[in-house]
Amino acid sequence: AVHRATYALSLVAAPKNKRTPGGVDLDGPVPRYAGCSLRKVAAARAASFVHAVGSFAWNARLMRRHWNVLRDVAQRRPVVRFLGRALPLLAYDASNELPGAREALCCSLGYFVQELAHVLGNEPDPVFVAHHAAYLAATLPIVCSPRGWAMVSLATLLAEVTNPLQLSWELARAFGCEQVYDALSPLFTFGFAVCRGVLMPLAMGDIAVSIFGRDGGARAPPAMRFAYGVFFVGIGASGVWLAQLIRGFRRYRRKKRLNNNGAVPKPPRDRRPSDCI
């Protein structure tokens, strides 16, 4: 609904085949988006923005609501101590029958289905397609499983918390809003580095203890083990994107500084991919 509403409003504000007051062509093909128009891209990113904010808030509230269950020692069944903490920190195999758990998973599944349809029809980027298909393949078995919502909710929190910044950063670049782009760039780079480079690997390590650290009689359901394998591959991809992001940020800032000092006659170009996932 957000996707369609944003597209419709854009037609009212800037009719087709007319440039915006800033000179941006909303309907011409954009090579970096596989020929998709900026109008369609902006509408899709608006839906992504709403999903990111809503999904983060929903899953944060859900985990807070069931915090006593997630932290209960009998539910967690700790197997190891590290730095004075009994691991795993949370009961990632908590029941999917807890109020709101399965509904949160289904909401995200619905978003990714419609987003995958948009990507296949308008932005057939192999990385985007693989990301969306992997999420669906990992989460759908969890929905049908009796346990596992907590590991998906935690991963969603850490993945979605930086998405509003990323989407704003990406669109600022696409629409040529250099001042906004410059202001968001260090914030997004730092946030993505902390969440994907530090917190996400730590969380994946804790989930691994919960899934694989127990004896055979207390093993997690197959759906959780499969989902963890998919998420583990995703962590590797995030590491690659993070390295590109940091390298590009340093290169962009260096070029901009030299340009401001008069050493470089042309404006800086940021070659970072803005489609980190």
- Per-position b or e across 14-43, b if 16+ CB within 10 A of its CB: beeeeeeeeebebbeebeebeebbbbbbbb
d(CA 157, CA 60): 7
d(CA 169, CA 45): 11
What pLDDT score does 258 carry?
81
What pLDDT score does 20 carry?
66
Rounded average pLDDT per 10-residue block, the chain, 277 residues? 74 72 81 90 92 95 96 89 89 94 94 92 88 93 95 94 94 90 92 94 94 73 93 89 89 81 52 51
What pLDDT score does 274 carry?
54
Residue 1 CA, chain-centre distance (Å), reads 20
Asked whether the beta carbons of 191 and 161 are under 8 A apart, the reply is yes
What pLDDT score does 271 carry?
44
HEC profile for 152-221?
HHHHHHHHHCCHHHHHHHHHHHHCCCHHHHHHHHHHHHHHHHHHHHHHHHHHHHHHHHHHHCCCHHHCCC
Handedness of CA 190, 107, 136, 98 (dihedral sign): positive
d(CA 20, CA 3): 20
**Which has the closest alpha carbon to 193: 248, 256, 150, 254?**
248
Secondary structure (3-state) at 87: strand
Cα-based distances in Å from 186 to 171, 180, 246, 249, 273: 16, 11, 10, 8, 15
d(CA 75, CA 88): 10
What pLDDT score does 143 carry?
95
